[in-house]
Amino acid sequence: MTPDDLKALIRDVPDFPKPGILFRDITTLIGNGPGLAASVAMLAEHARAAGAEAIAGIEARGFIFGASVAAQLGLGFVPVRKPGKLPVPVLALDYALEYGTDTLEVDPGAIAAGQKVVLIDDLIATGGTALAAAQLLRQAGAVVEQALFVIDLPDLGGADRLRAADLKVDSLVAFPGH
């Protein structure tokens, strides 16, 4: 499959989660076996080229792709969680959203000092969540130099924001103008 084939498997949902938003839904991509396999293979190739020693995924859809890439590469997976989901003492980071704040948590014992971790999520929009996840992983001792996404919404500036924070950013498909 080509990136254009993958793009064709991503469903557009108008006015979700609020009027005026065109939501790019990966449910149709992950529901297509060849599409899911091709997505994971492409992300795995990028992660391999980056020298990944572990893969981190952002809750929730980043778990789908991140854990699959980790399994394909024979690497460990580090979940970056929403608050209160991990049963051990955690590192936490509050970060700004368009309206308010949110928090991410990680188990610091899941990362070895200096371990090269590649961050994966389904979509990069404004970059706030991915930037917070990278900062949190770095606080835990990881070396985070690469972030991978299935979808980039380049007009929202998230990938550029991550690049400004010394992260290389790659995506499989882009939807300009949204």
Q: Which region, left, alpha or beta, applies to residue 168 given φ > 0 means left and ψ of -120 to 50 means alpha? A: beta
H/E element, 7: helix 3-8
61 a catalytic residue: yes
98 a catalytic residue: yes
Q: Are 122 and 150 in contact (CB under 8 A)?
A: yes
φ and ψ of 168, to 5 deg: -80, 135
Could you give the CA distance from residue 12 to residue 9 in angstroms, rounded to a whole number?
Answer: 10
The Cβ of residue 4 has, within 10 Å, a number of other Cβ atoms equal to 8
* 104 CB burial (10 A radius; 0-12, 13-18, 19+): buried
Selecting among 61, 138, 145, 161, the annotated active-site residue is 61
User: Which amino acids are annotated catalytic?
Assistant: 61, 98
